Structure 1
Amino acid sequence: MYNFDQLLILFSVLLLLVVVFSFINEKTIKLPYEIGLVVFGFIFVVIYIIGRNLNLVHLPMEFINLYREFDFTDFLFKGILCFMLFSGASRIEFGDFKADKFLIGSMAVIGTVVSTVVYGLLFFGLGYLIHVNISFLEACLLGSIVAPTDPISAMSILAKAGLPKRIGLIIEGEALFNDGVAVAIFATLLTALKLSASSISVISFAWGLTTEILGAVAVGFVVSFLLFEIFKRSNDNFIKIFTSLLTVMLAYLICEYLVFSGPIAAVICGLYYATGIAGMKRKNHRCMSEELHNLFYSFWSVVDNLLNGILFLLVGVILLNIKNINTLSVEMIFVIAFGSIVFNTIARFLGVYASMIFNRNPPKGKGMRNSKFITFMTWAGLKGGLCLALIMGTSISLATPTYNLFLVATYAIVLFTTVVQGLSVGKGYIFLSKNKVILNQKKKNYKIADKLIK
């Protein structure tokens, strides 16, 4: 348990690294903010590990111990995730999802389940080939960890890729909602693993998943409805901001107590506030001034960017959490990392494909056929802090060699999708849709001549 001084030291060091790495990135290679932090964080860790092994670099043991005691899972799930999801969702209205609600729903549920099973089968097969003792249940557990697209990565990176609005909303909508599904699958498989269960009841799994999601939606709506009434009626702008903070915190805590999906409740709260604020502005409500509108979104933008920076930095340095790295050879790390990236792509493709089969309104347009849309959505499936938080949550349940393998696999996927796919997703859209594009580098804005979807 940290005392106040330790928390202040840890937060100060993290913020220092965020500022320094962001400044270096801004003045040198100019990668997007989040990707730059991942890259420089990773480089920092590699230099540290090499320097430590050569006895050239030594960090104070007090700080090393402080970092090792840091609970990344609690930090994300019980700390910052609810605020980041609320901030991202508060920029989207409920009506924006109207045209693609079936597609987003099927990708969030069917796509996640299919990706979990497919990845589990492939990784189990790899373990058999390289003579690593991994059970099928453990392989599926890893599949549930890497199956969901991360909402934080999607909203912060893809929003800057210059994609058409509808495509961006589909990606963001899936990412916002599929984390609850993935967490439910993960919790079920982890419980079965602890109980040494060889099979899982489909009925209990479906019931648990349904209650967790619907319960979270209900809590989000009820809390948002009650507190937004205060938001509408108050004449003090700061009370309004405090009310929005209270809304997401209260909804998240209630869901934690009732064992519902807190992240989904946070998303519902954000969507509710976005829809309510937009409605007040359209009606010229007396309590919705331009000053309040700017203050609300400026405040949540600062919160979002600060927490994003810390999270993506932690993604870059998470390799420090490997236990007894001598259990892994260089050849093993390479095979696991490469295989995981390939398996993730295959599983993601089949998950999107399965979602399209059950979709009533598949996106169609002269720029991109369904096959190309599936290919693009496969490449746009970025992974991030959510996956790493889940794998960190298995550190006690899994044996050290298995945990190290899973951490390497998860980290390889997160690093590859965040950096490689995150940097190329905009160009991938242009290539697949064959649009004529004018790229304004200064404004970082794509102007699309031919629209993807009518």
Structure 2
Amino acid sequence: MFNFDQLLIIFSGLLLLVVVLSFINEKTIKLPYEIGLVVFGLGFIVLVIIGQTLDIIHVPEELLNLYREFNFNDFLFHGVLCFMLFSGASRIEFGDFKADKFVIGSTAVIGTLVSTLVYGLLFWGLGFIIQVNIGILEALILGAIVSPTDPISAMSILAKAGLPKRIGLIIEGEALFNDGVAVAIFATLMSILKHTSGDVSFVTFMWGLSTDILGAALVGFVISFLLFEVFKRSEDSFIKIFSSILTVMLAYLICEYLGFSGPIAAVICGLYYATGIAKLKRLRSEHMSQEVRRLFYSFWSVVDNLLNGILFLLVGLLFIDITHFNTMSVIMIVIIAIGSVIINTIARMAGVYASLLLNKNPPKGMKRIRFNTFLTWAGLKGGLCLALIMGVNTSFSSPIYGIFLVSTYAIVFFTTVIQGLTVGKGYIILSQSQLTTDKKTGLQPQAMEK
């Protein structure tokens, strides 16, 4: 039985690593917070693994056993995830999505479905090539795990890339909603894996997915409506914060009980609060609205940065317990990592292009094909992918889970570090390419949005 002391030991150790590695990053290469944690976290894990291999570093067996016994599924799905999604969504109002609701909705739903299918099929093919027996349903589950983009990384990293507001909102909006869609797909596929022979009709699958999403949206709206009344009528700052915490917890728990998508409900709650706080700013005095907004966003900013940092380190620490990889050679790990990154790029591109085939209104300054290419590269993966992969550590055999873990971590590392550091330059190159084309054809280019 896992007790409070054990939880405190794990949390204290993770927080220590977050503080130390973030401080080193701040005083040395000064990468963005998320990228710095990924880079230095990987460096720390590599040093520990090498130290273990050379018998220089010894990780106490008691600590490894404590780590193995920890229930990641409960901690991530019933603790961390709902707060991260609420925090990310609470920065964006419903009205911000009005101009691009079709792009965001189609990319979040159709794009995630297509990406899951394409990744699953291609990874199943990779398993055949490297002679690893991976079932098609297992491969599709991995596709659902790595398909969602990360709203936390998107908002933090892309904000530093200097993108136009409209493009930033499209990327953030898609990241918020595809999280819930991906979790619904993931939960449906896991249910098929656990409780049936794997035979399910497309109609049954889509009906279950639609019910999850619509039911979660309804629960999120109702709970937010009721508790936001407490938020706006109370004069006590602490009650305001407590009501927002209670909102996301109640919505998530009710959805879990009813079988709906808890992440979708958390996103709806966050959007409702963001919209409601914006209305308070217009209806009340400027001083009061600024105070409320400062308190609200300061609190949730701390929450999402802390939880996201812990997640980035938590998945890396899984590699210290090398029992998952004792049957995998270094060459096999490299092949899986590189193959996963390539397949992820193909799957992301397929999802983006499939969802935007009918979109004839790309942002100003970019043609549709260039916008689709940029949106493909801006698909940063992060916290949710890590949460999902850690939540299935008991659902697959050790070799298969080791392969899935390598695949997920390679994708998160590549998209967060490589794509995260170059996404701003990619936008500039594509936009300048568009302007150059317009000059050659004698057309007057549209001004880019600020």
Same fold? TM cut 0.5: yes
Count of residue pairs the alignment pairs up: 440
Structure 1 portions without partners, runs of 5+: 437-448
State the 1:225 CA deviation: 0.7
The 3 A distance-change label for structure 1 pair 145 and 321 is farther
1:81-122 CA distances to partner (integer Å, 9 max, x unpaired)?
Answer: 212221221111100000111111111111011111111221
- Counterpart Cα distance in 2 of 1:135 and 1:11: 35
Output aligned runs, 1:124-203, within 5 Å. Answer: 124-195=124-195, 197-203=197-203
Output aligned runs, 1:245-260, within 5 Å. Answer: 245-260=245-260
Match of 2:412 in 1: 414
1:224-282 CA distances to partner (integer Å, 9 max, x unpaired)?
Answer: 11111111211212211111111111111111111111111111111111111111111
Match of 1:69 in 2: 69
Which range is displaced more, 252-261 or 287-296? 287-296
- Counterpart Cα distance in 2 of 1:149 and 1:94: 19
RMSD over aligned CA atoms reads 2.1
Which range is displaced more, 308-317 or 168-177? 308-317
State the 1:134 CA deviation: 1.7
Match of 2:95 in 1: 95
Match of 1:82 in 2: 82
Quick check: 1:352 aligned with 2:352?
Answer: yes
- Counterpart Cα distance in 2 of 1:426 and 1:135: 38
Contact 1:184 1:209 in 2 (8 A): yes
- Counterpart Cα distance in 2 of 1:172 and 1:21: 27
AA partner of residue 313 (structure 2): L
Match of 2:366 in 1: 368
Contact 2:18 2:309 in 1 (8 A): yes
The 3 A distance-change label for structure 1 pair 277 and 364 is closer
- Counterpart Cα distance in 2 of 1:321 and 1:99: 48
1:112-141 CA distances to partner (integer Å, 9 max, x unpaired)?
Answer: 111111112211222222222122222222
AA partner of residue 183 (structure 1): V
Contact 1:103 1:362 in 2 (8 A): no
Match of 1:445 in 2: none
- Counterpart Cα distance in 2 of 1:192 and 1:304: 32
AA partner of residue 362 (structure 2): P
Give SS of 1:327's match.
coil
Contact 2:120 2:140 in 1 (8 A): yes
Which range is displaced more, 200-209 or 68-77? 68-77
- Counterpart Cα distance in 1 of 2:296 and 2:195: 47
State the 1:427 CA deviation: 1.2
Match of 1:395 in 2: 393
Give SS of 1:200's match.
coil
- Counterpart Cα distance in 2 of 1:180 and 1:192: 18
Contact 1:112 1:182 in 2 (8 A): yes
- Counterpart Cα distance in 1 of 2:144 and 2:15: 31
AA partner of residue 201 (structure 2): S
The 3 A distance-change label for structure 1 pair 250 and 119 is same
Match of 2:109 in 1: 109
- Counterpart Cα distance in 2 of 1:422 and 1:318: 24
Match of 1:35 in 2: 35
The 3 A distance-change label for structure 1 pair 282 and 406 is same
Contact 2:21 2:37 in 1 (8 A): yes
Contact 2:145 2:186 in 1 (8 A): yes
- What is the TM-score when the length of structure 1 is the normalising length? 0.92
Which range is displaced more, 232-241 or 20-29? 232-241
Which range is displaced more, 268-277 or 393-402? 393-402
State the 1:286 CA deviation: 9.6
AA partner of residue 54 (structure 2): L
Contact 2:348 2:376 in 1 (8 A): yes
Contact 2:340 2:411 in 1 (8 A): yes
Give SS of 1:260's match.
coil
The 3 A distance-change label for structure 1 pair 231 and 375 is same
Output aligned runs, 1:19-30, within 5 Å. Answer: 19-30=19-30
The 3 A distance-change label for structure 1 pair 434 and 316 is farther
1:368-388 CA distances to partner (integer Å, 9 max, x unpaired)?
Answer: 111111111111111112112
Match of 2:268 in 1: 268
Give SS of 2:326's match.
helix
Which range is displaced more, 166-175 or 54-63? 54-63
- Counterpart Cα distance in 2 of 1:36 and 1:264: 29
Match of 2:10 in 1: 10
Give SS of 2:404's match.
helix
AA partner of residue 45 (structure 1): I
AA partner of residue 110 (structure 2): I
The 3 A distance-change label for structure 1 pair 321 and 188 is farther
- Counterpart Cα distance in 2 of 1:337 and 1:284: 53
- Counterpart Cα distance in 1 of 2:374 and 2:322: 33
The 3 A distance-change label for structure 1 pair 152 and 316 is farther
The 3 A distance-change label for structure 1 pair 198 and 270 is closer
1:143-196 CA distances to partner (integer Å, 9 max, x unpaired)?
Answer: 111111122322332233221111111111111111222122222222333356
Match of 2:301 in 1: 301
- Counterpart Cα distance in 2 of 1:289 and 1:139: 48
Match of 1:441 in 2: none
- What is the TM-score when the length of structure 2 is the normalising length? 0.92
Contact 1:38 1:315 in 2 (8 A): no
AA partner of residue 326 (structure 1): N
Contact 1:224 1:273 in 2 (8 A): yes
The 3 A distance-change label for structure 1 pair 321 and 196 is farther
- Counterpart Cα distance in 2 of 1:294 and 1:195: 47
AA partner of residue 402 (structure 2): N
- Counterpart Cα distance in 1 of 2:306 and 2:195: 40
Contact 2:166 2:363 in 1 (8 A): no
1:344-399 CA distances to partner (integer Å, 9 max, x unpaired)?
Answer: 0001001000011144x53142x211111111111111111211222233322222
- Counterpart Cα distance in 2 of 1:322 and 1:194: 26
State the 1:421 CA deviation: 0.9
1:259-310 CA distances to partner (integer Å, 9 max, x unpaired)?
Answer: 1111111111111111111111112269944322322222222222222222
Contact 1:235 1:287 in 2 (8 A): no
1:59-83 CA distances to partner (integer Å, 9 max, x unpaired)?
Answer: 3332222222233333222112212
Quick check: 1:427 aligned with 2:445?
Answer: no
AA partner of residue 338 (structure 2): F
Give SS of 2:211's match.
helix
AA partner of residue 363 (structure 1): P
